Amino acid sequence: MSKSQQPLMSEITPQTEDFSRWYLDVVRKAELADYSPVKGCMVIRPYGYAIWELIQQQLDKRFKDTGHVNAYFPLFIPESLIMREAAHVEGFAPQVAWVTRGGDEELEERLVVRPTSEAIIGTMYAKWIQSWRDLPVLINQWANVVRWEKVTRPFLRTTEFLWQEGHTAHETEAEAEEETLKMLGVYKEFAENVLAMPVLDGQKSSSEKFAGASRTYSIEALMGDGRALQAGTSHNLGQNFARAFEIRFQGRDKALQYAWTTSWGVSTRLIGGVIMAHGDDSGLILPPKIAPYQVVIVPIQRGNWQETVLPKAKAVQADLQSLGVRVFLDAREEFTPGWKFAEWEMRGVPLRLEIGPKDIEKGQVVLARRDTREKMPTPLAELQPRVTSLLDEIQQALLARAIKFREEHTSSSATWDEFTTAMEGRPGYVVARWCGRDVCEAEIKSETQATIRNLPFQQVPGGVCVHCGQPAVTDARFAKSY
């Protein structure tokens, strides 16, 4: 290993030593988030929040492009409303926070802090929807939600988290299903093209379905330790919530009928996914499309650098900014270049631009890629197109690398023996035949820790279940998960 390839962040636990500790080190050292005085709740620091804002912008555009509009619904949900959908309450009951007092008065009706907003939104939809002409309703909300979690981890699972939840109502079952799959597709495209995180899209098994949904679909991403992360879900709620909240409309045939609703969401968990999908022992590696700084300029401070190097660095910064590149010029005098290299590498900046007296003599700068650590002297005349194409290359390379990793960590098992062997260590996905029964799935989980992440869309029956030997109804993708 050459010197330039050695990890420099000795303050970060190596991934192979303890992946979970590595993750926490990166979150803290890169200043993405910090623990707060509130149990299970983290503070998203400016650098982490900037990533979230970039995720929001790019997702929001996709929602608007598919015909959705944003709105905002209340944080509190009256107890009576959340009780309406039986499966829904049962699913969320252990996780809700209650408000029982306002000021010094006991509330007549308790309020839950929303763990998700189907109940309150469904109630409003019932008022707004009268006729088939009112459909579809395509609303998204960016919000915080609260779920009383027993075990929390920054970004991956916190008591309060930020997300978006789309809630739509449709005239027909087919339309609702189309919407559910369309938004899953948006998530997949976004995860792969923006987060450079390849995902498997498919259907959740009935035991992992959203509380109250008819069908749940998910995208699943593979993390660097071989465990899978549910990165987004899209639910076809059938008429379950429409019946519970009386979302009814008069159809084209004049008959009164229940609407077909969907909901879909992704959260700040995506940031955790990006960290664990791309990061290495030196820290974070951010895909350019969500990097708060895509390029960091490190001037070499030698001699009268303020008169020579700094103006050039500022000119380069302006040139790149004019292309829409997010650039930070790190002209702090209290740190040496070497320190800054390590620091910005740890914080995942895709491209570093070094500029010193020697470069100015030669009319060039030195570019360094975060993903490959390759250093490239680049003539100033070629800088603009070079930076643009490099950012694009890095974006592509991260996706390609992650796809390769997933391929190397995907296997299939025909027998239970193969399955248990395959599940040892850090296996990634194991594809196997499955009988479709909850009990069998539960047994597999208790014996191997592996769960069904999702089922491929094409469910082809035949053969026998890898675990119980009964007739199989489909392939299933198993993995240990977060």
Partner RNA sequence: CGGGGCGUGGCUCAGCCUGGUAGAGCACUCGGUUCGGGACCGAGGGGUCGAAGGUUCAAAUCCUUUCGCCCCGACCA
Query: Site residues for RNA, window 229-248 (CB under 7 A)?
Result: 230-233
Least distance to RNA, CB of residue 430, Å:
17
**371 to 390, contacts with RNA by CB under 7 A?**
373, 375
Q: Which is nearer to RNA, 137 or 346 (CB)?
A: 346
- Token digits for 151? 């075990």
Which is nearer to RNA, 382 or 407 (by Cβ)?
A: 382
Q: Scan residues 380-439 and list those touching RNA (CB under 7 A).
A: none
Taking CB under 7 A as the binding criterion, the range among 64-72, 90-98, 254-262, 321-329 that sits at the site for RNA is 90-98
Q: Which of 341, 282, 346 is nearest to 13 (CA)?
A: 282
Letters for 324-363 (x = contact with RNA by CB under 7 A, - = none) are: ---------xxxxxxxxxxx-xx-----x-xxxxxxx---
- Residue whose CB is less far from RNA, 156 or 383: 156
In the complex with RNA, the residue whose CB is nearer, 11 or 392, is: 11
Among 14, 78, 91, 463, binds RNA (CB under 7 A): 91
Handedness of CA 68, 125, 146, 445 (dihedral sign): negative
Q: Provide, rounded to whole angstroms, the least separation between the CB of residue 304 and RNA.
A: 10
Number of residues that bind RNA (CB under 7 A): 77
Three-state secondary structure readout of the chain? CCHHHCCCCCCCCCCCCCHHHHHHHHHHHCCCEEECCCCCCEEECHHHHHHHHHHHHHHHHHHHHCCCEECCCCCEEEHHHHCCCHHHHHHHHHHCEEEEEECCEEEEEEEEECCCCHHHHHHHHHHHCCEHHHCCEEEEEEEEEECCCCCCECCCECCEEEEEEEEEEECCHHHHHHHHHHHHHHHHHHHHHCCCCCEEEEECCHHHCCCCCCEEEEEEEECCCCCEEEEEEEEECCCHHHHHHCCEEECCCCCEEECEEEEEEEECHHHHHHHHHHCECCEEECCHHHCCCCEEEEECCCCCCCCCHHHHHHHHHHHHHCCCCCEEECCCCCCCHHHHHHHHHHEECCEEEEECHHHHHHCEEEEEECCCCCEEEEEHHHHHHHHHHHHHHHHHHHHHHHHHHHHHCEEEECCHHHHHHHCCCCCCEEEEEECCCHHHHHHHHHHHCCEEEEECCCCCCCCECCCCCCECCEEEEEECEC
Binding mask 169-188 for RNA (x = CB under 7 A): --------------------
Please say which residue, 95 or 410, places its beta carbon nearer to RNA: 95
Sketch the per residue contact string, 441 through 470, with RNA: x for CB under 7 A, - otherwise: -x--xx--x---------------------
Residue placing its CB nearer to RNA in the complex, 67 or 338: 338
Amino acid symbol at 22 = W
Q: Does 39 bind RNA (CB under 7 A)?
A: yes
Give the one residue of 268, 395, 413, 454 binding RNA; rule: CB under 7 A. Answer: 268
Nearest to 231, CA basis, from 193, 177, 190: 190
CA gyration radius for the chain? 25
**Sequence letter at residue 140:** N
| Residue 119 vs 156, nearer CB to RNA | 156
Residues 61-80 that bind RNA (CB under 7 A): none
Closest contact distance (angstroms) between CB of 82 and RNA is 16
Per-residue x/- marks for RNA, 139-168, CB under 7 A?
--------x-xxxxxx-xxx--x-x-----
Identified binder of RNA from the candidate list 205, 236, 263, 301, rule CB under 7 A: 301
**Residue 71: CB minimum distance to RNA, A:** 20
Compute the distance between CA of residue 366 and CA of residue 424 in angstroms, rounded to an integer: 44
Establish if 368 lies at the interface with RNA (CB under 7 A): yes
Minimum distance from residue 94 beta carbon to RNA (Å) = 6
Least Å distance, CB 155 to RNA, is 7
> For residue 122, with 0-12 CB atoms within 10 Å meaning exposed, 13-18 middle and 19 or more buried, which class applies?
buried
Q: Which is nearer to RNA, 8 or 137 (CB)?
A: 8
Listed ranges 48-56, 191-199, 228-236, 427-435: which one lies at the site for RNA (CB under 7 A): 228-236
Under rule CB under 7 A, which residues in 2-21 are in contact with RNA?
Answer: 3-4, 8-11, 20-21
Least Å distance between CB 345 and RNA?
5
Candidates 262-270, 403-411, 425-433, 463-471 — which segment interacts with RNA by CB under 7 A?
262-270
Closer CB to RNA, 11 or 382, in the complex:
11
For RNA, the closer CB: 135 or 276: 276
Q: How far is the CB of 315 from RNA (least distance, A)?
A: 16
Indicate the burial class of 66 (C-beta count within 10 angstroms; 0-12, 13-18, 19 or more).
Answer: middle
Stretch that binds RNA, among 285-293, 295-303, 429-437, 464-472 (CB under 7 A): 295-303
* 201 touching RNA, by CB under 7 A: no
